[in-house]
Amino acid sequence: MLEIKVMGTGCVNCIKLEKLCNDVVAENKWAADIEKISSYEEFEKYGIWLTPGLVVNGKVLVQGKIPTKSTLYHWLKNAIE
């Protein structure tokens, strides 16, 4: 199961990243727990200084930008394997 944390304060890009994660997970019928994190303490814990940030299975994959759908798909697929 994927453990996905979308780090952000609620800005437009944070919302887009969360929706993109939900879309990719649903389209591929993957089991995932997608959590929206807006706590600055949590950002610091993962070393996220720019939002949106994406943490999958405890590993920071991106911060400060939104990956393409294709890139996100490959990241999540690799995290499952």
pLDDT, tens digit (0-9, with 9 covering 90-100), for 10-19? 899 999 999 9
Crossing angle, helix 69-80 and helix 12-28, to 10 degrees?
A: 60
Q: Which amino acid is at 69?
A: K
Tokens 């499952």 correspond to 80
> Half-sphere exposure (CA, 13 Å, Cβ side) for 22?
8
Low-confidence ranges of the chain (pLDDT < 50): none
Predicted model pTM: 0.93
CATH architecture of the domain 2-80 equals: 3-Layer(aba) Sandwich (3.40)
* Separation CA 63–CA 80 (nearest Å): 21
